[in-house]
Chains A and B, each alone.
Chain A
Amino acid sequence: MFADYSITELTSIFAMQGFAGLILFSVFVLMALGLAIIFGQMGVINMAHGEFMILGAYVTYLTSSLFAEYLPSVYGSYFFIAMIFAFIVTAALGALVEWSIIRHLYKRPLDTLLATWGLSLILQQLYRTVFGAREVGVTLPDWLMGSYALSDSIEIPINGLFVMGLTIFITVGVALMMQKSRLGKQTRAVVQNRPMAAAVGINTEKVDRMTFALGCGIAGIAGSAFTMIGSTGPTSGQLYIVDTFLVVVFGGASSLIGTVASAFTISQAQSTMEFFLSGSTAKVLTLLTVVGILMLRPQGLFSLKIRR
């Protein structure tokens, strides 16, 4: 396959392919992080995760139209504002959903699956009614488009670099928050032992709501970032949901490090195989490997060692 190419050509292609794998890794982490918090910490199977992401994308779309209309002079920086808006709006919706639906179902985890799946259908139809069945095009500021030429033949997509930066920022932020902040400590306490946490005076209902809202908010940021690389339509969220669950379950539901490790493994495996095999075959092989490993290790790559 490589006989006809010069060494320099091959080097640059492999460099770019390495970056492609890293970008895919960042995308996986970003989309799985919100779900990992909700599924891992609370045990809620949130099938509407993709729709929360798309809500973030729609908020980005609205912000971009708003800036184009009223503040064209600072259009280049709208993307940051959009991500903040996306976080606020999706977190608010998350809190509302937790209050109205999820909190009644904590003792019945399989029912959360059904309820959030229903929610995802409702949200899809809502988007269709409000924004129309067609996809909307989110215009990006010019500085986010195009590529950065590292050398003559190595070109790195700028939006990919942006997603990587964002992912690192959010992952570190979430990790710090879970380890250091009051909410993080409370969340972990509630996960490990709910009655005891309540006994020491932690408002577990509030913690649940904040955790769910946080997970949804991060999904919103992810959705906002993904307007750079994917489509924004009523059902676009469905494009991400399978990969998202794959990453979270493979990583071991209750561990954020597991999520990162599993995103890394899956993305590297997939992007390498995509390069050497055809796209569909790569996908099949990735799924087969994950299924195989989960059969041997049902708890996923990493799991919390706590006494149940």
Chain B
Amino acid sequence: MHSKSKTFRGMLRRRFLQNLLAVPAAVMLANASLTAHADSANTTGLAVTDKTVTVGILHSVTGTMAISETGSVQAEKLAIEQINAMGGVLGRKIEYIQEDGASDWPTFAEKSKKLLIKDKAAAVFGCWTSASRKAVLPIFEQYNGMLYYPTFYEGLEQSPNVIYTGQEATQQILAGIDWVVKEKGAKSFFLLGSDYIWPRTSNKIARKHIDKLGLKVSGEEYYPLGHTQFNSVINKIKLKKPDVIFASVVGGSNVAFYKQLKAAGIDMTKEKPLVLTISVTEDEILGIGGENIEGAYASMKYFQSLTNDNNKNFVKAFKERWGDDIVIGDVTQAAYLGPWLWKAAVEKAGSFDIDKVRAASPGIELKTAPEGYVRIHENHHLWSKTRIGNAQADGQYKIVYETKDLIEPNPFPAGYQ
């Protein structure tokens, strides 16, 4: 945070210089280029014609992250198709160019450069891990692109070139902890996560909050990504007898952890200890197996089992498009919001220009969101509700609690860093 205002100013200055240089070039190009139609809706040479506008989709469809990112790709394509069926954006059909980040962060950077410089994408929907987002961030800031980022993440970031459609850490964590303390009388917590930035930051926030409530953290543990043997830590948990296991284990480790937890005789439906996770969506349960995680609680903004009309329509459309046995997790829904939020901002601005879209974005609301209702905050994150779901044997969550009001996104929580 300390360097944020400084880099932001530096960036503005850089962009100003770029614009100065770009003016003569743009004039020359405008004569030569027939496809890039320059009217008031597009003054910066984006890939916009009278009939179409091109956007980018940038996710991993190969490599280790493909497991998680597939759902986001499907959601973004569905949203784009639905928008096109309604007549597109400002009368233009959306065309997308899909690039594969291949679970490799330099590839993400390379591909985002291609989408912005060569393809002139008017917006990019993409990235999943924080590492991939951090890799493309300087490129989006340098070439002034717009990224819609779907994953719940650790916060501590705010870029004029990113709209964060997932929750930042405090939205997801504080409500979850408050709930187990109030409803389940939890007094002690065991924090367990995979060893990288998101679980570590999340647990930092959780620990701070638990301290603030005057409760106890009885252990905090991290295991390398891809770790598959959790018997030792499960024994440690048995010894310390915490009321809550607060879990942010990800990827293949997730499957190993829950299977071994169950095999070790910890029946999560008995809630002794209670498992509260912030990393297992319906997507992950597919791999874990519903019977292995039955009884655990998850704190997120979206579950497939939400019963509002928006969500019923969304789930129906999603299954029609991608198959009946598919499941929809929190991030998939957040990815689905991206194209819709972009459309709303473009229409409010009356232009595809990135700067105008950015200026129009704060305050944009989406009453048709599957999660109910969201609104973009000045800080480019979304106001959203947080829900607690109870995992069922059929792989779905039963929603047991929902915050009354929208929670304000607070990516730089004072006192939590």
Contact = CB atoms under 8 A, between A and B. Distances in A.
A230 interface: yes
Interface in A1-45: 5, 9, 13, 16-17, 19-20, 23-24, 27
Contact of B252 (A16, A140, A158, A230): A230
A233 B70 CA distance: 13
B70 A146 contact: no
A239 B232 contact: no
Nearest to A137: B289
A125 B64 CA distance: 11
Interface string B270-314: 000000000000011111111110000000000000000000000
A135 B256 CA distance: 12
B231 interface: yes
Contact of A160 (B70, B222, B231): B231
Quick one: which of B71, B222, B231, B255 has the most chain A CB within 10 A?
B231
B227 A233 contact: no
Contacts of B284: 135
Interface stretch (A180-188, A274-282, A296-304): A274-282
A9 B226 contact: no
B38 interface: no
Contact of B286 (A9, A134, A271, A280): A134
B63 interface: yes
A180 to B, nearest CB: 33
Looking at chain B's contact residues, the main secondary structure is helix
A25 to B, nearest CB: 11
Interface residues of B, number: 49
B289 A134 contact: no
A230 B254 CA distance: 8
B231 A24 contact: yes
B231 A133 contact: no
Quick one: which of B61, B66, B285 has the most chain A CB within 10 A?
B66
Given A128-B62, A134-B70, A134-B287, A274 B254 contact: no
A239 B226 contact: yes
B67 A146 contact: no
A235 B61 CA distance: 12
B264 A147 contact: yes
Interface of B: 61-64, 66-67, 69-71, 195, 220-224, 226-229, 231-236, 238-239, 251-252, 254-256, 259-260, 262-265, 283-292, 395
